[in-house]
Amino acid sequence: MAELSDVYFVDGTRTPFGRAGEKGMYWNTRADDLVVKAMKGLIERNAEIPKDRIDDVAIAATSQTGDQGLTLGRTAAILAGLPQTVPGLAVERMCAGAMTSVTTMAASIGVGMYDVAIAGGVEHMGRHPIGSNSDPNPRFVAERIVDSGALNMGVTAERIHDRFPHLTKERADRYGMLSQHKLQAAYEAGKIQPDLVPVAVIGPDGQWGLATEDEGRRPETTMEGLATLKTPFRPHGRVTAGTSSPLTDGATVSLLASGAAVKEFGLAPKMKLVSFAFAGVEPEIMGIGPIPSTEKALAKAGLTIDDIGLFELNEAFAIQVLSLLDHFGIADDDPRVNPWGGAIAVGHPLAASGVRLMIQLAAQFAEHPEVHYGLTAMCVGLGQGGTVIWENPHYTGKKKKQK
């Protein structure tokens, strides 16, 4: 008889993230090969788990076509060398694809159906721009169900600025600049590199190379430079390339396990799942989605926002993060929020990003035994938000001494 189980985030790996397009490092690399590479790295790091004990593989992609179609979880599992007895599936919730892969596999573990699962996502935005394979129903616009601008993420970001005029362009610019600076500082301190799986790539000149770092970083960013950028989504608008996540290619994967599997294989989990929630909002202002999903996840966990000691929030746009922080009364530059920078700097390969948030939170938990709970959250296209709350297994209950 199956029994309810705790769910643990055992480990996570990802490829370095690359700029999308012909000049990006993954232009000549297949999407499925990116997720296979990340998965091989994860499996090698966790060799104590027999491959045939993996119960399922869930891999997300927003544009499920071409080399990131064909039931990605199953095809990637086979290509990564897992036994053919291991099944797999594909997941699609736009930007929250990998997050949904995790929560879907976690739910299966939680109700006792699975013991071990792999969950992640991939997006090759160079090969498959968002919406390139979609055909939105004309009723959305004809019957005024959804405004046509809701399908343009930048337009939705401008509308958050409209709704909350105190969240100014200057505040968004400063947030974007600090994201770049924090990511660079994390790189210089060696925080990001341990969870990156190098990828062999073929450059535009036909020469082989090795992708070892995130490609889109702009550590030289200044407020003066950001002030000069164009506002592509609206004349005289407030959203610029400096306050938006760039178009990105990359893949992420995670290893999840039940309490019984943790004991059986002697695993050292990096996080324990507490709760998760998804919520819907008006598609026209999709960026506020993480606010209600966070409120739902906190209620499910019996926690308040004050219990959260670390936040990993996906920076689709600076204004989207600022709206959540403002709602919960958190300062723009609160050190608990994205301490190693975010998607504005590192990139946002849509369906892959949710696990990137988890990988960074897990690494920060190890450094902060004084933090009991952490949170990963993101906005989702067409008006959704997703939030997962995690418990720190390293928590000691002692406050960190001030230097």
Residue 95 among the catalytic residues: yes
Residue 372 among the catalytic residues: no
Q: Which one of the listed residues 124, 128, 372, 379 is annotated catalytic?
A: 379
Residues of 243-257 as b/e, b for ≥16 C-beta within 10 angstroms?
bbbbbbbbbbbbbbb
Residue 236 among the catalytic residues: no
Q: Which one of the listed residues 95, 124, 368, 372 is annotated catalytic?
A: 95
Q: Which one of the listed residues 124, 128, 161, 348 is annotated catalytic?
A: 348
Active site (catalytic) residues: 95, 348, 379
